[in-house]
A and B are shown apart, each in its own frame.
Chain A
Amino acid sequence: MDQAVWLTFLVGVLAATLRVATPLVWASIGEVYTERAGILNLGIEGTMFLGAFVGFAVAARASDAGFGGYLWLGLLAAMAAGVLMALLMGLLSVTLGVNQHVSGLGVTLLGIALSLFGFRLVFGESSVLPSVEPFGQFSIFGDLPIVGQVFKQYLLTYIAFLILVPVAWWVLYRSSFGLNVRAVGENPEAADAAGVDVYRTRYAALAIGGALMAVGGAFLSLAQLGAFSPGIIAGRGWVCIALVIFARWDPVRATLGALLFGAVFALQLRLQTLGFDLPFEAFLALPYLVTILALAIAGRNAPYPGAYLKPYRRE
């Protein structure tokens, strides 16, 4: 490979890394908040799915109606849908104390079913896939060579890395709400005795988490694709579940995990085009294998939140 080709390759991989990591960052930070409050939200896959669908459907209809801010309206609607899914999860796991694996999987099934059903309802069975003009990419480094190309990204990517991650970290570790979240996830009895409303805190953490997961999903439909398809989430929610454990429930480490996954994913995309003599499924499986490997290595002795999976009942 001569140098120019090599450089293009590298720039492509780096840019794709950030792009692939973006939805994972949104959703895994959402999951971090939920799990820190003691709730494993396996509804994440379905919540991302519904976020992708609702975001797209609302954006498409608003765009048809000639509303200029259709993408933002879609994003808001996605977040609202995410919050609703989280409240359902809360009703099941917090209020009713249903097993979290069961309720989470139920929420995921519901989210996916609602999306597919809703898609038919809204768009019928047209032969052309409906689409909207998605969010555009721009570079904060303008036309500079290399960095300008690497950082040609979506606004939601910038927000994820530059605003969401530090804010999520700060709120979790430096705000009273974050302290409440960590306390109810660790020892709800203690939090209760200290005057913290355990249920409200858990619902709030779930709601924030649900909104962030939905943004993760909507990023795919409103930014990356400008369309919605049944394969849109493709297990990204499950990847986030693994990332959160890998990250030991820390937003910054979750981001690093998302970047690692993004990098492997981007790499395998490029490698496919280089014409190695391997079935493309092998490449596709690569990022997931790396995730499992990373989880196996970093997830050993993971300090699970003390009240993980445990519903709280005052006697």
Chain B
Amino acid sequence: MSFSIASPAVEMRHITKRFGPVIANDSVDFTLERQEIHALLGENGAGKTTLMRILYGLYHADDGEIRIKGEPVTIHSPKDAIARGIGMVTQHFALAAPLSVTENVILGYTEGFRLGLPDARLRVAEAAQRFGILVDPEALVKDLSVGQRQRVEILKALYRNADVLILDEPTAVLTPQEVEQLFEGLRRLQAQGLSVVFISHKLHEVMDITDRVTVLRGGRVVGVVPTAHTTQSELARMMVGRPTYGVSKPDAARREDVLLRLENVCAEDNQGLPALKNVSLNVHAGEILGLAGVSGNGQRELAQVLEGVRSCTGGRVIANGHDITNAGPDKVMAAGVGRIPEDRHESVVAEMTVAQNMALEHLDEFVRNGMLDKRRIREHAEALIEAYQIKARPDDIIRTLSGGNMQKVILARVLERNPAVLVVAQPTRGLDVGATEYVRQKLLEQRQRGAAILLISEDLDEILELSDRIAVIYEGEIMGVVSPDVDIEHLGLLMSGVHQT
């Protein structure tokens, strides 16, 4: 037998995929070597997810061919892909919420008719241990935080003994520590033979974990480079097609009047356990107050209380002079609170159009003679699309928008009303460099205008970059309020529950 170099784990050639008029992938070549961690980079809508969904059998390419370990294959469904050792963690959660972690992990990957749940639980726990993923196999997925759900997703793919693992923005919802854990696990698995496709908008992660980078722009490959031979700014330039700068924070705009006041707010989580314990915060006009903390420490509940979708069990919330304690979302909005919720897919109606979603929160203003005024709705949408540079048409179904454009729609809907108070949760999660910059710029503009902004984010860099003051939350308690030039280690201690001395 003659010696030959092992053929690549995956080769995709001339992959083309159209969605109606949109060419999501335009004759894309992509090669994943064995035991390689390969980044797929590109702006929102560049076609990264589409390419990987084709590899995983969720979409079918209009043209092109796929080889796995040198062998030409046709992948009809995820089942085929799984059988060929490909695993994928999809960008949006693909979990059945009322089922347990174990059930979700073993779903579609069971032997025989009997589930054998006790054994399965042990196997899942063992796999979780091996891959360094902290998750309770018996918990129900619906009770888990976004970060925990993501972990289940990763575990699910790894549990299937994949030797090619596609991670579509796996770190978007993880804390820095969790990201580090994940990377350690990936390196260990890589040494054991795993090849990884890693999609992320965070360039420092790409520099840290990957061996090579393929950059997509507008559905085409614009370059393939070894990570060691490139820099973050070069990657950013390749992605956007121009140099990027980042946002700069103008001077303080803080005024004396407090527009958002929380007094000893208490609330429970979905299981009825205390999630917020006597939270008191003041946000002034013209100020961004960052709320830092490790995922799952009450941020979600706090945001929900302020959005009017979770009731408090104690305390008061005063916004813009109105008592909005336990008021519904309509009263909260009427009080001048703008809300940008954590899960952007939950704050739009997926099957409705961009124009309809933009009008949705204030339908009463789009009524004429008791009927919806379709023309007004459309004109309103056109104006916002223009003003906020959204790449979409009024009649597009919002579900088909890229993450960045969907977030712009939500932003436009909220900001056009010049809210006195803004409650913003994870505003740039999953957004590309350009869109992230855009959103942050808009928030700073609101600050200059005099809005009181509560910025809830698990992205510490974001908090440090934008905030005037930083409050740290741990297990539902405010550990302290510090200034953004605080020693980062001190901040880390607060986030892990060590009290300020």
Chain A residues with a Cβ under 8 A of chain B: 174-180, 182-183, 186-187, 189-197, 303, 306, 314-315
Stretch of B96-104, B354-362, B462-470 contacting A (4+ beta carbons < 8 Å): B96-104
The 5 closest A-B pairs by CB, nearest first: A194-B108, A195-B108, A176-B110, A190-B94, A186-B96
Chain A contacts for B93, CB-based, 8 A: 190
Interface string of B284-313 (1 = CB under 8 A from A): 000000000000000000000000000000
Q: Which B residues from 48 to 81 make CB contacts under 8 A with A?
A: 56, 58-59, 77-79
Complex contact A180–B113 (CB within 8 A): no
Complex contact A194–B114 (CB within 8 A): no
Minimum CB–CB distance from A181 to chain B (whole Å) comes to 11
Complex contact B108–A180 (CB within 8 A): yes
Minimum CB–CB distance from B2 to chain A (whole Å) comes to 36
State in angstroms the CA–CA spacing of A177 and B98 once bound together.
17
Complex contact B58–A195 (CB within 8 A): no
Say whether B407 faces chain A, with CB atoms less than 8 Å apart. Answer: no
Complex contact B114–A193 (CB within 8 A): no
Minimum CB–CB distance from A211 to chain B (whole Å) comes to 18
| Chain A residue at smallest Cβ distance from B93 | A190
Complex contact A175–B115 (CB within 8 A): yes
Minimum CB–CB distance from A187 to chain B (whole Å) comes to 4
Complex contact A194–B113 (CB within 8 A): no
Q: A186-B97, A190-B107 are in contact. Are A195 and B115 (CB under 8 A)?
A: no
Complex contact A183–B107 (CB within 8 A): yes
Which single member of B19, B90, B104, B113 contacts A175 (CB below 8 Å)? B113
Which single member of A189, A306, A314 contacts B97 (CB below 8 Å)? A306
State in angstroms the CA–CA spacing of A306 and B59 once bound together.
23
| Chain B residue at smallest Cβ distance from A171 | B113
State in angstroms the CA–CA spacing of A191 and B107 once bound together.
7
Which single member of A179, A189, A190, A194 contacts B115 (CB below 8 Å)? A179
Complex contact B77–A197 (CB within 8 A): yes
State in angstroms the CA–CA spacing of A179 and B108 once bound together.
9
Say whether B9 faces chain A, with CB atoms less than 8 Å apart. Answer: no
Q: A193-B94, A194-B107, A195-B78 are in contact. Are A183 and B99 (CB under 8 A)?
A: yes
- 29 examples of A-B residue contacts, CB within 8 angstroms: A174-B115, A175-B113, A175-B114, A176-B113, A177-B113, A179-B99, A179-B103, A179-B107, A179-B115, A180-B107, A183-B99, A186-B96, A186-B97, A187-B94, A187-B95, A187-B96, A189-B94, A190-B93, A190-B94, A191-B96, A192-B77, A193-B94, A194-B104, A194-B108, A195-B82, A195-B108, A314-B58, A315-B19, A315-B59
B-side interface residues, number (CB < 8 Å)? 30
Chain A contacts for B94, CB-based, 8 A: 187, 189-190, 193-194
State in angstroms the CA–CA spacing of A76 and B405 once bound together.
57
State in angstroms the CA–CA spacing of A175 and B96 once bound together.
16
Q: Which B residues from 86 to 125 make CB contacts under 8 A with A?
A: 88, 90, 93-99, 103-104, 106-110, 112-115, 117
A-B contact count (CB 8 A): 84
Complex contact B115–A176 (CB within 8 A): yes
Chain A contacts for B77, CB-based, 8 A: 192, 195, 197
Say whether B277 faces chain A, with CB atoms less than 8 Å apart. Answer: no
Complex contact A190–B78 (CB within 8 A): no
Say whether B217 faces chain A, with CB atoms less than 8 Å apart. Answer: no
Q: A306-B97, A315-B59 are in contact. Are A191 and B115 (CB under 8 A)?
A: no
Chain A contacts for B103, CB-based, 8 A: 179, 182-183
Complex contact A179–B97 (CB within 8 A): no
Chain A contacts for B107, CB-based, 8 A: 179-180, 183, 190-191, 194, 196
Beyond A174-B114, A190-B96, 19 additional pairs, beta carbon < 8 A: A176-B110, A176-B113, A176-B115, A179-B106, A179-B115, A182-B96, A183-B96, A183-B107, A186-B97, A186-B99, A187-B96, A190-B95, A190-B104, A192-B78, A193-B88, A194-B108, A195-B79, A195-B108, A306-B98
Chain A contacts for B110, CB-based, 8 A: 176, 179
State in angstroms the CA–CA spacing of A189 and B115 once bound together.
21
Minimum CB–CB distance from B96 to chain A (whole Å) comes to 4
State in angstroms the CA–CA spacing of A175 and B78 once bound together.
22
Complex contact B78–A194 (CB within 8 A): yes
Q: A175-B115, A180-B107, A315-B59 are in contact. Are A193 and B98 (CB under 8 A)?
A: no
Chain B contacts for A314, CB-based, 8 A: 58-59
State in angstroms the CA–CA spacing of A217 and B353 once bound together.
45
Chain B contacts for A196, CB-based, 8 A: 79, 107-108
Minimum CB–CB distance from B54 to chain A (whole Å) comes to 12
State in angstroms the CA–CA spacing of A163 and B355 once bound together.
55
Minimum CB–CB distance from A228 to chain B (whole Å) comes to 37
Which single member of A187, A192, A197, A303 contacts B58 (CB below 8 Å)? A192
State in angstroms the CA–CA spacing of A174 and B100 once bound together.
13
State in angstroms the CA–CA spacing of A171 and B301 once bound together.
37
Say whether B156 faces chain A, with CB atoms less than 8 Å apart. Answer: yes
Chain A contacts for B78, CB-based, 8 A: 192-195
